[in-house]
Amino acid sequence: MASRGERLSEAIKGRGITKMLSLALDLRVHESAISRWRRDGAMTLDNAVRLSEVLDVSLDWLILGRGDMDRHKTTPPHPEEADLIQVGRRLPAAALGHLLVFLESVTPTD
């Protein structure tokens, strides 16, 4: 798994940012802070939140490495979908397989 610094570097590159001074000004920090963060240096939660906002990346991805950089742009599941996920996680693998076959059989095709 990539480190937080590697994810930050990926986000900076992915967003086409080439001038760290410009990013530093947007974040209201010194350029050296960005360099330190890219080497996995300490970062406050406030700075992490600002980074995720300025770079338009998922905070969960940036800090914890969960999901992907643009995860925050996807539509969250409806409450019923979230309930179905929770039920599915409690099912044994065989039962989950049968449930999936059933759901596919009753799902309309486009």
pLDDT at residue 38, rounded to an integer: 97
Tens digit of each residue's pLDDT, the chain (110 residues) = 799 999 999 999 999 999 999 999 999 999 999 999 999 999 999 999 999 999 999 999 999 998 888 888 877 778 888 888 888 899 999 999 999 899 899 988 86
Residue 6, burial from CB neighbour count under 10 angstroms (0-12, 13-18, 19+): middle
Q: What is the DSSP string of 44-58?
A: -HHHHHHHHHHHT--
Phi first, then psi, for residue 109 (nearest 5°) are -95, 150
CA 41 – CA 7 distance, rounded (Å): 13
pLDDT at residue 76, rounded to an integer: 75
pLDDT at residue 5, rounded to an integer: 96
pLDDT at residue 72, rounded to an integer: 80
Q: What residue ranges define each of the domains in the chain, with the CATH number in brackets?
A: 4-73 (1.10.260.40), 75-110 (no CATH)
CA 56 – CA 96 distance, rounded (Å): 36
CA 7 – CA 18 distance, rounded (Å): 16
pLDDT at residue 3, rounded to an integer: 95
Is the pTM here over 0.75, yes or no? no
| Two tokens, residue 92 | 């044994």
